[in-house]
Structure formats: C-alpha cells, structure tokens
Chains A and B, each alone.
Chain A
Amino acid sequence: MSIRATGATARRVLLQIRRDPRTIALLLVVPAGLLVLLYFIFDGQEATFQKIGAPLCGLFPFIVMFLITSIAMLRERTSGTLERLMTMPLGKADVLFGYGIAFGLLAALQAIVVCSVGFVALGLDSPHGAWLVGLLAIGNAVLGMALGLLASAFARTEFQAVQFMPAFIFPQLLLCGLFVARDSMAPALDTISYALPLTYAYDALALVTEPGDLGGDFAVDVLVVAGATIASLGLGALTLRRRTE
C-alpha cells in the first residue's frame, strides 16, 4: 500500500462524483428530506419521532454508502478498469482505502446535513451530543461501504446490485430494533439479530440519542461495528482478484 496511490485513487473517485452533481444533491438532500417526511408522519408524536428519527440520522449514510459502493465497484469490475488497475503497480489496499476515504468524506457531508436538519431544525434530542451521532454515522457509512464492496463481487449486472439493497439491508433494518424492540420479536429473530452488524450500529445510536450512561454496551457496539467493517473489508479485498477466469 502506498500513500500516493491511495490518495490518487481517493481523488479520482471524488473527481468522478463531482462530474455527477445530481448524485451529490441526492446524497445530501434525500436523507434530510426523508427525516422531514418522518417528522410530519409522526405529527405531534414527539417521543416516537425521537425514538425513530434520531437513530435514523446515523443509519442513512450506511444505507446510501452500501448502495453507491456496490454500484461503483461493479462498474470498476465490468468496465475493465479494475482489471487494468490490477496489472499496474497498485495494491488492493490502495483501491479499498481510496474508495474508503472518498466515500467517507461524502458520508461525513451527508451526516452533517442530516444531523443539522434533525437535531437543530426538527428539534431531535441528542443527550450525548449530535457530533457523536455524526461520528457514528461516518463509521456506519464505512461499514456500509465495506459491505457494498463485498456485495459487488456477487453481482453481474447493476440490476442485481440494486436488488442487494432489499436483500441484505432491509432485513437488517427490520431486525435491528429500530421499528420493533428485538426482545418482543419471535425468539429466533432476536437470536439472528445478534449476528447482524446493523443491530450493533443501531444499538450504539439508540444509546447516544437517549439519556443515561453509555456504559459498556456502547463500547461493545462500537467494537463490533469496527470489527465487522474490518472483516468485510478483508473479505472484499479477497474479491479483488488479480487473476480471473
């Protein structure tokens, strides 16, 4: 891995995104817009909006980064650019971290916008600081990116890649405890939820957006999310093959 190659790759990915201003606008506006929508859906039910809206601020970047990474990496694979990069003096880590830095920056921007709208304009509460929600959002975005990278290896077309979102992300969203507390689900589902990284991502956000001590649970959550990110990046690196059929 070299700093030059990683930096060049991050810069290149950002240049590509800059060429697509509509994507940037969607990235920044859509999560905030959905939060506003949620605010009016739970009209006058402040407690419910707080319970769902506040953690959601930190989950949007996860969802979006999963999607754009799986498409972006699929494009690299199908356009032949990845194969060419693999014949050049460039490490797999340079590709991974290049994307990680570029999309991490985008995720940070997205988190700033959605947290500003949520915690400032819509009056969501963040007893431990909105900045902590923002940091978790960036961490979750990197997790989403790592999972998206891994998923892209199993898609042959963009149609397939888009379907991975309902296939891999929706079940995690449903089981993570955001909509229904996990202990009131069927016991089997509760057990399964322990194996899903988003459960820990959500749990950390729930702790941060509720009053009370963060405690050891929070540390466990953060460690599990970090571990899942590293594991999927490692698995993703395995799918960046120098030699193919």
Chain B
Amino acid sequence: MATDQPAPPAIAIRDLDVVRGDNHVLHGVSLEVPAGKITGLLGPSGCGKSTLMRSIVGVQIVGGGEIEVLGAAAGSPELRPRVGYVTQAPSVYGDLSVAENLGYFGSLYGVGSDRIATTIGTVGLRGFEGRITGTLSGGQRSRVSLATALLNDPDLLVLDEPTVGLDPVLRDELWRTFGELAKAGTTLLVSSHVMDEAGECDELLLMREGRLLRQTTPAALREETGQQDLGKAFLTVIERSEQPS
C-alpha cells in the first residue's frame, strides 16, 4: 500500500534563539506543529511559551534560527490574514462595546456583520453585544479577544493561555470549540501552564526554562513515563532530563 505524503507542518522551527537583554529566553528550539490539529504548548510560567508564540506570529525580535509558518517566513505580510493571534492579556479596546470591537477588527479583515454575529455565538457572547468590553468579567473579555482572532477564519490560530481564569464549564466549552475548529481544518497552537489541559490536545510540546523537552502526544507521554496523570508524566520527563545520562 502506497503511503500518503504526510501534510507539510503548519509551523516548522529550527534552532530558534531569543535573547532579551541578559536573559537567554529560548535556547535552540526546534519543533514542528502539524496542520489541522490542536498542539498544546505546555510548561511552567516564564518558560518561554509566550516568547515562542510571539516569534511564530512575527512580533518578536529573534536572535537566530528559522521559523516557517504555512510555507512562508514568520511575520511575512501574506501571513497576516491567515494567522490569528490572541495574546495572554485580552488585547481589545476596553472603552468600546463588544460589537464595536468586533466591528473594528472585522472591517480590517473585510468580513461582514453576519460573520461577526456567528463569531459572537462561537465564543458564547450572544446577548453581550452592546456591553462595554471593559465592564465585562475577565473571562468574557478574553473571549472577546479570542473572537477577534476567529473573525476571518484563519488557517492557523496561536492562542496564548486562552483558558486562564475561566470557570471549568467555560473552559470545557472553549476546548470543544477548539476541537470543532481543528476538525474544520484549522491548525491550533494553544499554550497552557495547566497540565490537565494537555489531555485535550492531539500533540504536545513540553517546555522548560527556554528549552523544548519533548514533542510528543498524550498517549505517547503516558506510555513513555508509565504515568496516567499527565501532570505527573511531565514531572517524570523533567526529572529524567535532569539526570545525567
């Protein structure tokens, strides 16, 4: 049986180095993010997840290495309509209503009002259109931020800790939304410092102190470590990486 050519990865990074002042944030990170799947980027706070994501969307000054995103160099102008990026802190205008925020970002992408209405539904904010964004709860605000990135149905979504501060029900709903997006062909790169979210991902990138420890899957991680709990499995990986081999 002829094997199908595997689809090219959505993101391919080779030897990425980022230095900020005296701080070496990323050390020779190499990885591939498969297309059309949910890849979880996991690691403790401050391990370089956000910097890696900023490098992928092309807003980070990088010290060395290559980043290819959807077949182009990271940050190329042609990628701007194709890559959605949601920062950790909601980056929307607090003094505008939900509808006005989405209206503005929508007009930059050239999408119509029906698409805006659909997106508001996707993030579960129907009924909040007229509310001033700054008066919403933190979780609602971050969903407005998420909605702006979903507006033009990008091929790649880079989401920096999208579920932080959300209640478990909302978190579950959001992961279901991510699953639906992936099923429809979107590539998702989602960061989290909560290991129990790793189980929701197809692929895992485990980071610590600016280095990539593993690129794996939840099943393979469990098998490798003999731990069912993914949090404990991550700890095992860390312990093994620190032991001299």
Contacts and interface: CB of A to CB of B under 8 A. Distances in A.
Nearest to A94: B108
Given A8-B104, A244-B61, A16 B91 contact: no
Contacts of B87: 80, 83-84
B92 A81 contact: yes
A87 B59 contact: yes
A242 interface: yes
Interface in B60-85: 60-61, 75, 77, 80-81, 83, 85
Contacts of A8: 104, 107-108
A76 to B, nearest CB: 9
B54 to A, nearest CB: 8
B165 interface: no
Given A4-B110, A87-B59, A244-B60, A12 B93 contact: yes
B100 interface: yes
Nearest to B87: A80
Contact of B57 (A80, A87, A89, A245): A87
A130 B77 CA distance: 46
A243 B61 CA distance: 6
A90 B92 CA distance: 16
Contact of B85 (A16, A79, A84): A84
Given A16-B96, A80-B89, A242 B104 contact: no
Interface of B: 20-21, 57-61, 75, 77, 80-81, 83, 85, 87, 89-96, 100, 104-105, 107-110, 132, 148
Q: Please give me the 8 A-B residue pairs with the lowest Cβ-Cβ distance, nearest first.
A: A80-B91, A8-B107, A12-B104, A89-B80, A84-B91, A19-B95, A80-B87, A89-B81
